[in-house]
Chains A and B, each alone.
Chain A
Amino acid sequence: MAETILHIENLSKAFVRSIKTARKKDAIEKISLLNHLDLTVEKGKITALIGGNGSGKTTLFNIINGFLDADQGSIKFINGRIHELLGKKPDTIARLGLGRSFQDNHIFDELSILENMLVAGKETFGETPFVSLFSPGRNRKIEKQKTERAKTIIENIFGSGNYFWQHKAEKAKNLSHGQRRILGLLRIFMADFKLVLLDEPTTGVNPEFFQSITDILNRMVNENKMSVFLIEHNMGFVKQVAHNCHFIHDGCIRASGTPAEVIDNPLVRNTYLGF
């Protein structure tokens, strides 16, 4: 029996939208996006979540990492102890060891490539202006260790003399879309997360980067003992990297198994893949 790192039970979420009706009175429409959803993510594995546009995948991630509240249910994060995530703030959840990436590019544009890596630490040392001011020695030492670590992380994937390290002082906004996505993934290594949620890591990325992304994901799981939970539309990529796969439809998980099994499921074929 495989170990579980994330266990979601009976999770529901509805959005309330106001719509204009013919009689010019605002009416309120309730859309239940997630309906008593149950889901388990195994520890040390890559788990994929697939489903149609607007099926609530990103919303699920937003609830897990604390950006959104749920209407009911429970989300247990099992990392040594069992933590209930619902009701916790995003930074608290991050500190427990759960990280994420975004569907659209989130990067610190005006920070350099290296600073983008350095800022992603869980430690709060140097956060207050006073410590920064009065403890420069200790500050520098930590900074040096983290710089070394950033270098190792980048070289593990791209070898020495790579583009990212050579351009480490350049602002991140000067990178291409694909490079920024990669930087976003590399940055996750800096933070000692145990579980990372990746929202469509390959979307909008040139296929030339697919191999690097695959390497990064495998390294997260094999070398760094992280568990990965990712949303993906590219089924070829899912088959290649994922150990497990869940299919979300009508607000709950309708098929689970290995990627091959889920792709063969008639419901998945009819409602999502379309063949």
Chain B
Amino acid sequence: MLLQLLINGIVNGAIYALVALGFAIVYNTTRIFHIAYAVIYMVAPYFVYTFFDKLGFNIWISAILAIILTIVVSLVMELIVYKPLSKKNSSGNVIMISSIGLMIIAINLVALFYGNDTKILHRDISDSIRFGQLIITYSQLLQFGGSLLLITGFIFFLKFSKFGIKTRAMRDDEPLCRVFALDTFRFRNYLFALSAVFAGTGGILVAWDVGMDPYVGMPMLLNAIVALIIGGVGKFHAPIVGGFIIGILQSVVIWKFSANWMEGVTFTLLILFLVFRPQGLFGEKQRLV
């Protein structure tokens, strides 16, 4: 029983890690607290729903089209809200409030078009692999494999590619990047696109398993933010570790107590970190000089 829950926890952890990393790609480089990221996660499976369930496209084509549209949504958010505000040197709080507004508008729009009820992407019962008592469904394998592929791909990219060096340079010192001729606003477009791929893939993989409604984004975003904070803000591998910790912790909580306690324990962990180790597992104490 514990082992089964642990496997579920690791699969959930992979999704948390993926979504948290997408959030960190934007947050670490632009310092935008991108609450509307929840919408990116939520809206991607609705695009799949439209292409696959309504228009009858092939599932892979539907998924690719959905990711492309999700990128478009992410870029629209950057171009019509974040970029103008950043250019005016608006404070982080103003940007965050705008982001919340953006999220509410988008959720309302989705609810208007698709309704408030839970939508299911497919009706087949997922096949599964059995090892004695243990069951791993194909959906779970897909979630785990897909997340791991994107995460390791990105980490490799970050370390070795030019794009990766520039991303880390943006994280360290944005004005300095501009002094060395980087068009930071154009670069931000790539970052917002990439983060949409991460959130969109996570959203689609989870919805393929359990379906979605217009409100699935916020709880996932909160888990991602907790993963980011306990891992350590500013580091790219931190939200990955944080995501797995939360996933596994939640499965242990379900085993020991009940699923009702899951969120309570997650946020208890968050508060413990904020009080006793605010820099997170991998963060360093801020050097004052």
Give chain A's interface residues, CB within 8 Å of chain B: 65, 67, 89-91, 94-95, 99-100, 102, 106-111, 115, 118-122, 124-129, 131-133, 139, 143, 187, 191
Q: A127-B187, A129-B194 are in contact. Are A118 and B165 (CB under 8 A)?
A: yes
Within the complex, what minimum Cβ distance (angstroms) separates A60 from chain B? Answer: 16
Would you call B179 and A99 a contact (CB within 8 A)? Answer: yes
Alpha-carbon distance A89/B181, docked complex (angstroms): 10
Number of A-B contacts (CB under 8 A): 92
In the complex, whether B138 has a CB less than 8 A from a CB of chain A is no
Q: Given A119-B180, A126-B162, list of 19 further CB < 8 A pairs?
A: A65-B179, A91-B178, A91-B181, A94-B178, A94-B179, A94-B180, A100-B179, A107-B176, A108-B176, A111-B168, A111-B172, A119-B165, A119-B166, A126-B166, A127-B190, A128-B163, A129-B157, A129-B161, A129-B190
Least CB distance from A62 to B in Å reads 10
B211 within 8 A of A: no
Q: Is B134 an interface residue (CB 8 A)?
A: no
Q: Is the CB of B183 within 8 A of A91?
A: yes
Partner of B171, one of A91, A106, A110: A110
- Quick one: closest A residue to B167, CB to CB? A129
Residues of chain B contacted by A91 (CB below 8 angstroms): 178, 181-184
13 example contacts (A-B, Cβ-Cβ < 8 A) are as follows: A65-B179, A89-B178, A89-B183, A111-B169, A111-B172, A119-B180, A121-B180, A124-B181, A127-B162, A132-B162, A139-B161, A191-B180, A191-B181
CB distance from A221 to the nearest CB of B (A): 20
Could you say which residues of chain B place their CB within 8 Å of the CB of A109?
172-173
Closest CB-CB distance, A171 to chain B, in whole Å?
Answer: 10
> B56: CB under 8 A from chain A?
no
Q: Which residues of B contact A106 (CB under 8 A)?
A: 173, 175-176, 179
Chain A residues near B166 (CB-CB < 8 A): 119, 126-127
Let me know if A132 and B161 touch, CB within 8 A: yes
Inter-subunit contact B162/A108 (CB<8 Å)? no
Question: For residue B146, which residues in chain A have a CB less than 8 angstroms away from its CB?
Answer: none
- B278 at interface, CB cutoff 8 A: no
B262 CB to closest chain A CB (Å) equals: 34
A111 touches B161 (CB 8 A): no
A119 and chain B: residue at smallest CB distance: B169
Interface residues of B in 171-201 (CB under 8 A from A): 171-173, 175-184, 186-187, 190, 194
- Please measure, in the bound complex, the distance between the C-alpha atom of A69 and the C-alpha atom of B161, giving whole angstroms: 35
Residues from chain A with Cβ under 8 Å of B183 in the complex: 89, 91, 124
- Residues of chain A contacted by B190 (CB below 8 angstroms): 127-129
Is B175 within 8 A of A67, CB to CB? yes
Cβ–Cβ < 8 Å partners of B168 in chain A = 108, 110-111, 115
